[in-house]
Structure 1
């Protein structure tokens, strides 16, 4: 295989298209699993964030109530 510097553009385009098609096929194969995993990670992160901020919210609310009386 020749280096990119002396390769004509038509050959480069064909190579790129072939690589792109192969990449798309691989992506289509794995998209379902990856999207499911990303969804779970996002939900888990939001859940952790909510649980971590809950004590602070309760504490602020309790301090606000005790200050107003």
Structure 2
């Protein structure tokens, strides 16, 4: 699974009303994007993705302070 497929699968699993419309410039990426629909994310995977998406780095930590 590519990062783009994971992002699309995550969006599709968040809500049945969600309809992401990714842009693409070639047919290979279009097929990759369409394949995201077949990815089944577990509740644990969704929770891990949500947690990772909400983490932030403190400016002091990023500068090595």
Structure 1 length-normalised TM: 0.25
Structure 2 length-normalised TM: 0.25
Indicate the structure (1 or 2) with the bigger Cα radius of gyration: 1
